[in-house]
Amino acid sequence: MLQRSHLNNAELNALVAKATLIESDSYGPKVYRLDNGEYLKLFRRKRLLSSALLVPYSVRFCRNAAQLQSLDIPTIEPLALYQLADSAWTAVHYRALAGHTLKDLSKQAGHSSFDFLPELIAFFHTLHDKGIYFRSLHLGNIVLTPEQRLGLIDIADLSFQRRPISKSKTRRNLAHFKRYLKHEGLLEHFPYQALYDGVVNG
């Protein structure tokens, strides 16, 4: 597990000087793509008193990556863990998982969501059988790698159990997946019922 090191404002500014801002919100930058192709993801503790005070989301992000790797699930590779000058902020410098998200693939001409349906059903089974519960699992955080394997990104919101995921959690996982498809305008073109049947009844 990486040890947290301090990154002051000058060092942070130097690190992102030539970076591309990929994601931000009303509080500021969230994800940078650095000039060498690696990434810096910033995490903000949202409340003064919360579990993130003891275990910041950046630490969970790194721990989850290590646990996924130990379970042979492709994912990102953390390179450094930082405490920023503002105590509410931490960051992770990481190497991205090579490949394309299923969201991007589903929108490419000549591709159909049916193309990767069998692999997606098998991936759900693999995750759930290994006790991996990714509450916000969706097409945007599942990556098809160059080796034609499915892997995970954006992994802070993820937990592990010692036994397979229950049927009720499986259904909750799929319900979130459906809400995501609807929000992104993909539900009409996605074989959701076939996914549901394959995961729940397969």
From-to residues of CATH 3.30.200.20 in the chain? 4-95
From-to residues of CATH 1.10.510.10 in the chain? 100-201
The domain made up of 100-201 is a member of CATH 1.10.510.10: yes
The pLDDT-based confidence of 52 (bands split at 50, 70, 90) is: very low
Among 42, 147, 159, 36, smallest CA distance to 96 is for: 36
The string of pLDDT tens digits covering residues 162-190 is: 999 999 999 999 999 999 999 998 888 89
pLDDT over 90 at 96, yes or no? yes
Higher-scoring residue by pLDDT: 49, 171: 171
CATH class name, domain 4-95: alpha beta
The pLDDT-based confidence of 114 (bands split at 50, 70, 90) is: confident
pLDDT over 90 at 99, yes or no? yes
Among 89, 81, 70, 91, smallest CA distance to 19 is for: 91
* % pLDDT > 70, the chain: 94
Instruction: Check: pTM over 0.85? Answer yes or no.
Output: yes
Q: Token digits for 29?
A: 């930058």
- For the segment 11-40, the average pLDDT, to the nearest whole number, is 95
Measure Cα distances from 82 to 11, 60, 106, 118 in Å.
Answer: 11, 13, 35, 39
